[in-house]
Structure 1
């Protein structure tokens, strides 16, 4: 597995020679220990409050391994990333595009349009609802300002999640998207999936040499990684939404796998492990890339899209978001 997940608060990640040592506290007071060869890991994800020694953290960064932090509820908190790319010309092109509102609008329209088309593909069994989303996708081309573009994206999202609710059994009590914190099991799954997706896109943006904090649809406010959120949009329906639907329809997860505390719904520890395994399986799922015409995984596709976006900035080649029927 290219990603090492540490989910237990009572866990310690340290360095042992050319490997990482994972120690997990047991209920009887003992410690379960294992060694993970460093060359088998591409990323580390820490959820909750596990302990990472300074030696392990610096060793990971020295090897080019990103370390990502999620809250105990699965919310993305931030990342420790290896040294930034020295591609100054790419960064300057990114900043120049941000400062040109017309070019910025034209750059982001295909991403919004593709996100809506991917959403329509998910609810295609509800023909009337899918048709309205396809109409919104067409209207994206006519938007003449960023505010209007965000407006049509918001309307499409509202209708999409309302339609998505029709695909779930009423026992799941899903009445639309809510977050901060998620109040029901479906929203808990979606939020967790989006956080894990953000980890993947953050790593891809970093590898491509882009500035994660300067985006074009999302504003660089409150320190949010605006470009990461931009490039996540086309993948939200393809990865997180499809995964949540699949796990529920296959009854891999059930309502009793969730608990609610202080208005926040979360997965049980055992169900969280099932979700992470399913997410990894999804990341490794292969499909035919519509641009390159060869088979690749979703993990590879996320990296490819970040590199295509960088190429768009440097060479003015139109960026083609990932749309899968």
Structure 2
């Protein structure tokens, strides 16, 4: 259980929430884990399969405390909303920002600033830790290009210009990506990013992990009351969670890319975990998907220090914390959205 940004995160998967004297009480079997006054929090996010008592749900509605339910793995189930339902005002403001480029541009710039910072950090960390095994000159060159790209973000005057800077920076980053693969280079290599379908094992792994991350970001946005389908940088398309794609940009290098590389470089994922299909695409097979999913859950349980809050949290909570920071930015409680820049 953690309390961050006036939000109570209940992470014990077999816990049950009840009401006692206007307090939310967290139970695990016959044991009381915690008691928190409802008046001291704005929201509860429960990642437990046991749920909460009707009395607590009613009191949360009365006190205007948001109560969102997720599976222990982070899949969004539903939210309990009171009569005042601040989500309506929050979403209306989200839509207004999305429809006005001068307002959406600063938030989109923050997303990309976080992405480029984390891309550069991934390169720099590999260069530092494996100096004798990688092409230091190439990595340094592309790291410098990412640094230069970060300096130009503030000068972008449109979303299209921002997309151009991000696209060129991504090319620089992926140009050096093959140097980050340190094991079984005959089976795992990277020439260029390929999707729909992925054309090699590394791209197949990245695509699968990106899909997992996008799901977590979508769940996080739904839990805080934002519409994951209305974005600030990715254009709206039927069935595409544009805001989730916006949010995950800053997480791709630090969470997804590092995770995928660690699976390959430690030998956790092998060439036999993939299959080729008739269209020439390469995909994880059933055993490969099971291996990655199990490792993904273990990875999300590892703890880090959040760079903005300076609090220890699990990797799995990062999208939820950033979604909360985004809601505060949209409501005007923060002057600017603080991107996730971890080092």
What TM-score, normalized by structure 2, do the two folds share?
0.71
Residue 245 of structure 2 is aligned to residue 229 of structure 1: yes
1:15-73 Cα distance to aligned partner (Å, 9 max, x none) = xxxxxxxxxxxxxxxxxxxxxx9429xxxxxxxxxxxxxxxxxxxxxx944699xxxxx
SS of 2:304's partner is strand
CA deviation digits over 1:140-171, x for unaligned, max 9? 11111111100010111111112112222541
**Aligned mate of 1:253, from 246, 269, 274:** 269
Q: Are the counterparts in 2 of residues 65 and 81 from structure 1 also a CA contact under 8 Å? A: yes
Within the alignment, does 1:213 sit opposite 2:214 as a pair?
Answer: no
> Does structure 1 conserve the Cα–Cα contact (< 8 Å) formed by 2:76 and 2:222?
no
Distance 1:235 1:162 in 2: 19
- The separation in 2 between residues aligned to 1:67 and 1:283, in whole angstroms, is 11
Q: Residues of 1 paired with 2:180 and 2:229: CA distance?
A: 35
Unmatched 5+ stretches in structure 2: 1-10, 14-47, 52-67, 128-138
Post-superposition Cα deviations, 1:250-284, rounded to whole Å, max 9, x if no partner, equal: 11112232111121212232222221111111111
Distance of 1:154 and 1:117 partners within structure 2 = 14
Q: State the Cα deviation string for residues 99-149 of structure 1 (Å, max 9, x = none).
A: 221111112111101101101111112222111111111111111111110
Matches within 5 A, 1:139-218: 139-168=152-181, 170-171=185-186, 172-218=188-234
1:16-35 aligned within 5 A: none
With the length of structure 1 as denominator, give the TM-score of the two structures: 0.75
Note the 1:20-169 alignment, pairs <5 A: 38-39=49-50, 64-65=69-70, 81-82=77-78, 86=85, 87-124=87-124, 125=127, 126-168=139-181
| 2:321 aligned partner | 304
Instruction: Indicate the RMSD between aligned Cα atoms, in angstroms.
Output: 2.4
Q: Secondary structure at the match of 2:176?
A: helix
Identify the match of residue 332 of structure 2 among 311, 315, 319: 315
Q: More displaced, 249-258 or 176-185?
A: 249-258
- How far, CA to CA, are the matches of 1:299 and 1:173 in structure 2? 28
Q: Distance in 2 between matches of 1:167 and 1:66?
A: 34
Given that 1:67 and 1:81 are in contact with CA atoms closer than 8 Å, whether structure 2 keeps it comes out as no
Greater Rg by CA: 2
SS in 1 for 2:230: coil
Instruction: Give the aligned partner of residue 47 of structure 1.
Output: none
